[in-house]
Structure 1
Amino acid sequence: MKKISLLFFGLILTTTTFAQKFGYVDTQYILEKMPEYKDAQAEIEKLAKGWEGEIQDMYQKVEAMEVELKAEEVLLTKEMWEERNAEIERKWNEVKEYQQSIFGFDGLYFLKKKELVKPVQDQVFEAVERVAKNNRLQIVFDKSGDLVMIYTDPIHDYTDFVLEDLGLVENQSVDNN
């Protein structure tokens, strides 16, 4: 019996010694509360619409060249048609390359988004770190990330602490009527 008691005590000691405190936050919710993030998103959207307009104009010009070639096809020699068709193909390639340079991986859109959003995300991550240290959390999950959380107990939600750390908590008065 004494061995069982010692084993049980050892198990409890081991469990409490190695128990880790954890919590989670919803960084997307936090970011949406930040005016800096909203401003960055608005600027990115404005840039994207401008680039989309440029690309659309380029597409329309090449399509017009195709329509013109089709209309004049019977009037052109084979060499003239091939030359104009090659020019159209070259223009299509230019449009696709330009589109890739803007919206492709490591394109201007991606780089601009990174430039504008990263400082705001860094603020959130620093606040999460402070909250984690203040609350002695060893692990903090991001509820809005790719990690699927089937169930979360609100007692472990530290989102409001991060909002408070960032100065984004609105004074909410409770009406007791």
Structure 2
Amino acid sequence: MKNISGLWLALLLLLAVPSAQAQKFGWVDSEFIMGKMPEYAKAQTELNALSDTWQKEIEAQKKDLDKLYRTYQAEEVVLTEAMKKKRQDEILKKEQDIKAYQNKQFGYEGQLFKKRQELNKPVQDKVFEACEKVAKKKSLAVLFDKSGDLTMLYTNPAHDYTEFVLEELGLGAEDRNQPGPKGPLKTVVPPKTPVDPNFESDSGTPEPAISPATKAPATKTTRPVKKTSK
């Protein structure tokens, strides 16, 4: 559904621009761009550390729950009905607490989700500003994001402005977006396969001769030495 809505958005953008066919457009890969940014890598490291910490806490709580349940099973035969009910309620509450904590940290709009937004927003803002500058410099009417919801079934490299955005961010490579060296056109002739005119295959056509360098070396047979008794 997101892909369809993205496609409609692209069509509306093109229709909204006067003489859309005469306008320049391009695309960038925002995920690739952010992957080149040190601040994005730092944010991911911090997020991974938080995720590992919270996951370890959940695993520790699950171990406590398992211990509580095993103790109840071992002592169940000597417990009264009231004591059984109390233990069962403790186990149930422990399970609910673990699920609530897990949802709080990793659920939709949980702590990890909010922290990711907090750490990634400055990076995304920098990429957006750089894209805006490139679009103005290159007189682009529309600039698509290959990493977004819009599904791009085909992308012509001629319209890829990703490297220009990286240059705007100070992360561009010197060997990119440079005109290639001009020179005379050279035609490379493929080498011919040598053919032995004296050898014919079963089909009656000559087969390629085997180069002496590719022949398997002859196996030297060593005769066993017979021992003589003194």
Question: Shared topology, TM-score over 0.5?
Answer: yes
Structure (1 or 2) with the larger CA radius of gyration: 2
Output the amino acid matched with 2:151.
V
- TM-score under structure 1 normalisation? 0.85
> Do residues 81 (structure 1) and 84 (structure 2) align?
yes
Cα distance in structure 2, aligned partners of 1:171 and 1:65: 62
Query: 2:83 & 2:113 partners in 1: Cα distance?
Result: 41
Q: Secondary structure at the match of 1:138?
A: strand
Picking from 127, 152, 162, the partner of 1:159 is 162
Residue equivalent to 1:112: 115
* 2:47 paired with 1:44: yes
User: Which aligned pairs between 1:66-145 and structure 2 lie closer than 5 A?
Assistant: 66-145=69-148
Amino acid in structure 1 at the alignment position of 2:55: E
Counterparts of 2:169 and 2:41 in 1: how far apart (Å)?
Answer: 15
Partners in 2 of 1:37 and 1:154 — Cα distance? 25
Q: Counterpart amino acid of 2:68? A: M
Counterpart amino acid of residue 99 in structure 2: K
Determine which structure has the larger strand proportion and give its number.
2
Whether 2:25 is the aligned partner of 1:22: answer: yes
Distance 1:58 1:20 in 2: 59
TM, length-normalised to structure 2: 0.66
Give RMSD over aligned pairs.
1.8
What code does the residue aligned with 1:166 have? Answer: L
1:150 partnered with 2:153: yes
Matches of 2:161 and 2:172 in 1, distance apart? 13
SS of the equivalent of 2:93 reads helix
Q: When you count helix as a share of all residues, which structure comes out higher?
A: 1
Deviation of 1:147 after TM superposition, in Å, equals 1.6
Partner secondary structure for residue 140 of structure 2: coil
Aligned partners of 2:164 and 2:111: how far apart in 1?
Answer: 35
Q: Determine the C-alpha separation between the residues in 2 that align with 1:89 and 1:34.
A: 46
Q: Distance in 2 between matches of 1:67 and 1:137?
A: 67
Letter of the 2:36 counterpart: K
Give unmatched runs, 5+ long, in structure 1. Answer: 1-15
Which 4+ residue blocks in structure 1 deviate beyond 6 angstroms? none
Structure number with higher relative contact order (C-alpha < 8 Å, ≥ 6 residues apart): 1
> Which residue does 1:60 correspond to in 2?
63
- Taking the aligned partners of 1:96 and 1:125, their CA distance within structure 2 comes to 38
1:54 deviates by 0.4
> Which of 17-26 and 67-76 deviates more?
17-26
Give 5+ residue unaligned stretches, structure 2. Answer: 1-17, 182-230
